[in-house]
Each structure stands twice: as C-alpha cells, then as structure tokens.
Structure 1
Amino acid sequence: MAIRVEDVLRREYKLPNMILQSGQLLSGAVLAYETFGRLSASRDNAILVCHALTGDTHAGGTAENPGWWEGLIGPGKAIDTNRYFVICANVLGGCYGSTGPGSINPADGRFYGMRFPTVTIRDMVHAQYHLVRSFGIDRLYSVIGGSMGGMQVFEWAVTYPDMVETYIPLATAGKFSSMGIAFNNVMRQAIYNDPEWLNGDYYGITFPEKGLNLARRLGMITYRSFDLYEERFGLSMVPTDDPFAMESEFQVEKYLSYQGKKLVQRFDANTYLYLLKAMDLHDISRGRGDYKQVLDRIKGKALMVGIDSDFLFPARELFDTAELLKAMGKQVIYREMQSIHGHDAFLIEFEIMNEWVGEFLESGGSR
C-alpha cells in the first residue's frame, strides 16, 4: 500500500551557523527534507532514514510518485507510516535542495563550486541533528541507512548515542576502506579530466557530462556482482552486422552507458566529487582515539545487515564490527543477506528486508 498524499510533506530547514569537521564555518545553509506519516503526541515514534550517494529526500512515496525505498516504507511495511514518523533529509553538500557546491554562496552571490567547504559524514549528521531537534524530538526510535547512508547511521550511534534507541546500518562500515577510496579516486579523475568541468565553475555555462557518465559507469560495476552480470548479460552482444568492429558493443557495455546517461540527467558533478570525498574521510574514530573505544560509545540496540556478494563493502566488515560490539556487551543482531545483486541488494531485496527490519523494529530491537 502506498502512502497517502496528505502524509507526505516536503520542507526546507534553515541550519544554524556550523563549524565543520574541517574547522571551516558554513553559514546560511539549509537542509531539504521530507516526512512520511505523523509524529506522535509523545514524539517517540520518529525514524530517520539516511540516503546513499546519489539518493534524495523521497525515500517513501505515493502511488503517483514512488520513493527510492518504496518497498520498505509505507503502510503495513517494515517502516510502517501508520505507526512511525519518518524523516529523510538530503545530506548537507547534496544537490536535491540542501546546500551544496551547486548552491549560491550568500556572501558573494556566486555558485560555490569548488569553493564549497569539504563536508564529512559527521557534518551531515550534525546537520541532521539540528533538523531532528527542530521537531522537538529528544530521542529517535531508529536510524537506518545503507552504503553512505549506513555511514551516517554509525556516526549517529557514536556522536549522539543517547538520542538513538535502535540503529540499522546496511551494507556499510564504521570506516571506509582503501579499496573504496581507490575506486572513488578513479571516479573523481573521470570528472576532473573532462574539459567541460572547468575547475568546477561550469554552472550556467556547460556540464561535465562525459566525466560524470564515466564515473557512474565505474560505480555501477562496484554496486553489482560478478554472478549478476554473468546471469544477466554473459557475452551477449548488441545486434550488429560486424561483431569484430571496434564500435561493436556487448550488452553489459550498453547497460553501463544507460546508467551513466541516467545519472547525468539528475545529478550534479561537483556534488558527486564532494560526496565521494565525504565517504573517503569516513572513520568514526577520526580525531577521537582508538576505533574499539569509540565503538564502546554506542548505547542503542543494533541490527547490522551485510550482503554476501557485496564487493564494495564486504560483509565481513560489518560482521567483525558486530562481533566487537557483542564482546563489549552491546545488543547487536547481525544478519547476512544471500543475494546475487551485490552491494545494491539493500535497495532491491525487499522481501527479506521487510522481514528482518520489520521484526527488529516491532520487537524494540530484541530480535
């Protein structure tokens, strides 16, 4: 069942002046957000949904305008909007209504471009904190997200441990990997080397379409799995009179081209650069000391979900973190999804996701 139109609200929240993790001051910033469902009189039914790299505020949706997590959010689903008040904000640094490099700098009336300050996952969470408190919410029932969204979940759990009753990180880690940074580096170089990038000052002039297209193609390789590509494409070619011609294409190449073109139509290249950097810098222990000691700050109950075919965030990362937390006496449930879909399974495998997430939320984090 879809969410009723009257239960979906899109708004903008003006943030207070923020000192970012880098030490820079950001003034006049806003967060775009959507809410789904109704906040209870006791304000104890709020769930914060954190989106991934190219996500937006529209996690849930109506029959006419479905959300990107439509299979998980809505009446009768795991995140039941008849019971919970769901908040989803576009991250600080994003391009779906929140202040980012594609925004106008109020100080000089110009697009920020690469003059926008570096934003980290921790900064995103601080901004979300201000938004959540603006509703008069003292404690979130849950924080949930996958991939870059899961990074935010971890940061919430250690930065505001008294505000999180349960948390659900999916296909993610408490700190990024050198392999992930390596892939992000190549994606950034694809944009930097597009002549249309113009050092980030392309707004109103042109757009680094080829660079962002290529970056997305590489990303899509890391989001899927070997078995999925083999099953879906194999060595099938796009019909051609001459398969030996250099311009002939395999179906998997056509698919990557399609995905690249789709992203170019809906996302900003500078934002892509900034959010990749935020992922690279993600480490809940940065500036805080030993990683295990920082994990010990966590107080809420956790459901951690790894994916057996995840190439970008190998499931063992979440498993090892769950074991560390259990050894500290924390209440943690670890589940591993068996899926051919790779990293993006958390956006696809809704049957098992509804079962696991729904059971966890229903039980207050005990199962």
Structure 2
Amino acid sequence: MENIPNTINIHNFTTENGAIYHTLPLSFTTAGLPLHSAPIVLVNHALTGNAEVTGENGWWNDLIGHGKTIDTSVYTILAFDIPGNGSSSFLIENYLDFTARDAARIFIEGIKALNIEKLFAIIGGSVGGGIAWEILALEPNITENLIPIASDWKSTDWLIANCYLQEKILNNSSKPIEDARIHAMLCYRSPESFKEKFQRTVNQDLLIFNIESWLAHHGKKLQKRYQLSSYKLMNQLLKTIDITRNSESFENLLAQTNASIHIIGINSDLFFTAKENVETYEELKKFKDNVFYSEIDSVHGHDAFLIEYKQLDHLLADIFKAETIKK
C-alpha cells in the first residue's frame, strides 16, 4: 500500500484567533500496512512539503519505505497535508487566522476521525516538528514516541525575526515567492555549506557568482510549484510555535505524558539551533526520564535533516527496529 490519498472534512472549526471555518478539507495519505493492522507513524511535513512522504516522489523516501529504517512492511505511515499548503485547490487567504497549534488541533481531529487511539510515533522536521510538539502538549497520551527533528517546542526571537522578514518580503516584493525563498535559503543552509559548495566561483555564462545563480534557481523553482497564500500560511505557522502560549508551563504540559521524547538537533542549524535543543533536553531531564538527545553532524545547516539521511537513519534505527515495538 503506497501513498493512498484521501480527505476528511473538518466541520465548524474555530481557530485560536476566533476565525470560523465551516469546512476544512484535511487530505492525507497512508502507506505501508493497512490502518489498524500495524503500529502507526504520523509524519508531519515541513514548510514546502506535503503528505507525499514515500514512493518515487516522496520527500522522505530515503528514510521511509520497504526495508528502510521506517519500514513500510512493519508500520502504517500516515501523513496529513496542512490545509492551505497548496497540495489541493483549497487555499487559505487570511493566513493570520492560524497558528501552529491550530494545525495540531486539525491533525488531532483527523486522527480521531480515523479512529486511531494511539500512534507509535509522531515524527517531523522543522515546522512539522513544532506541530508534533503542539500535538503532544494537547494530547499527552496520543503517541508512544515523539521525534522532533531540527525543531523545537517554541519559535525563538531569532526564528520570529526571520519569519517577520519573510512576511515582509511575501507582502511587499514584486517577486514574493522567489525573493522570500532566496532569503530562506540563507537560513536553511550555513556559511560553511556555501563555502564548501561554491568556493567563490563565478558562473562564466551569466557573469555572476555561482552562489547567486544557485539562489536565483531555487527562487524560480519554488515559484513554479508553490502558491503565495500557502507560503504566507506556512511562514505564519513557523512563527507561532509555542506549546505554552495561553496555556500551562512547559513542565506542567510535558509532565503529563509518558511518551518517549527523542530530540534530534543539527550542530550547524542556524534556524532551530542545537543550543536551544540541548536546553529543551536539559529542562525535560529535570522531571522526565525517557527523553533523549542526539545530533546530526553536518556543515549543511537546517536542511541537513533532508540531506544527511544516513546519519538520521542511524539515529532513528533503535526506535524503529521491529523488536522494539511493544506487543
């Protein structure tokens, strides 16, 4: 069973900001073993991602598939599209209506609609990891394992600042998607990554630096496949990750869960920094035993969770080996 798409309609959804949506289409895919026949892994997509995580065009098919670390012959893979992410014709024009917690609430509605009582794991990178934290804070017993990668339970001032700049570009540029993407690539990679890749070389055809032609290429590439309203929405979700907003303290929220929390940072991440991940881990260790921290070693910055799949493979193997599944 590979990437079977489906849709659940969420009715009369009121966002945290008080906006009412009479119908929200929540599209999702399942892959691997049929629902309710095996442990279920929920995979949350990142900013420009979608529910297509496995198969030929799957954005995580290095990690998820037959015989791979998250083995589709052992698990059921479930992935939701964040409504408005551009994967369908449904778009959200007023992006300020939504927060990351709203996305988490919508996913929880989907999980309940599918009659899923417990997940084996929730895994996600970047904003997908932030939404995973929000799900656990809302439903402490929903999963056995939480695996946030290159992410955190809150947007830092640094992250909010970059999202603010993204929002300004998206609202004011004559080429909003292209220009916002060019800025974003500076957050997703690192100075060392650019140095290793480009070495200050010049594109002789265009007579510009290769770093410039590469950034321009990424801008144009995203512009061809992405909607402006989707970019604004996903940037807004990234900016609003915070499990404690209008809620209880970090400790009160996470002391309620028995889930094992496996935090994976990236040593060169400029977006969700490893330092913040370590602080989260140390805070959790004060009141929780089954919390773990590991780190991807890479020059490639935030995007390393999509690039260094062999390291990620290694870090996740212990969680997803068949013998670790509780019978």
The TM-score bracket by the shorter chain reads: over 0.9
Shift of 1:268: 0.8
Shift of 1:365: 8.5
The AA in structure 2 aligned to 1:185 is: Y
1:201 aligned partner: none
1:110 aligned partner: none
5 Å matches for 1:33-52? 33-39=28-34, 41=36, 43=37, 45-52=39-46
Residue 146 (structure 1) aligned with residue 125 (structure 2): yes
Residue 188 (structure 1) aligned with residue 167 (structure 2): yes
CA contact (8 A) 1:21 1:123 kept: yes
1:198 aligned partner: none
2:91 aligned partner: 100
The AA in structure 2 aligned to 1:264 is: Q
3-state DSSP class of the match of 1:15?
strand
Select 1:220's aligned residue among 162, 177, 185.
185
Which ranges of structure 1 fall in alignment gaps of 5 or more residues?
A: 1-5, 102-112, 196-209, 241-246
Distance 2:133 2:69 in 1: 21
CA contact (8 A) 1:302 1:365 kept: no
1:3 aligned partner: none
2:71 aligned partner: 80
Distance 1:44 1:166 in 2: 15
Distance 2:38 2:74 in 1: 11
5 Å matches for 1:19-58? 19-39=14-34, 41=36, 43=37, 45-58=39-52
Alpha-carbon RMSD across the aligned residues, in angstroms, is: 1.9
Select 1:174's aligned residue among 131, 144, 153.
153
The AA in structure 2 aligned to 1:144 is: I
The AA in structure 2 aligned to 1:23 is: G
**1:224-259 residue CA offsets vs partner (Å, 9 max, x unmatched):** 11111001112101115xxxxxx8410000000000
Which ranges of structure 2 fall in alignment gaps of 5 or more residues?
A: none
3-state DSSP class of the match of 2:16?
coil
CA contact (8 A) 2:38 2:74 kept: no
CA contact (8 A) 2:149 2:265 kept: yes
**1:72-102 residue CA offsets vs partner (Å, 9 max, x unmatched):** 100111111001100111113321127432x
CA contact (8 A) 1:92 1:123 kept: no
Residue 332 (structure 1) aligned with residue 323 (structure 2): no
1:202 aligned partner: none
- Provide TM-score, normalisation by structure 1: 0.84
Select 2:244's aligned residue among 281, 285, 293.
285
CA contact (8 A) 2:13 2:23 kept: no
5 Å matches for 1:1-367? 6-39=1-34, 41=36, 43=37, 45-61=39-55, 65-97=56-88, 99-101=90-92, 113-114=93-94, 118-194=97-173, 210-239=175-204, 248-362=207-321, 364=324
**1:172-196 residue CA offsets vs partner (Å, 9 max, x unmatched):** 111001111111122221221135x
Distance 1:333 1:259 in 2: 35
Greater C-alpha radius of gyration: 1
The size of the alignment, in residue pairs, is 325
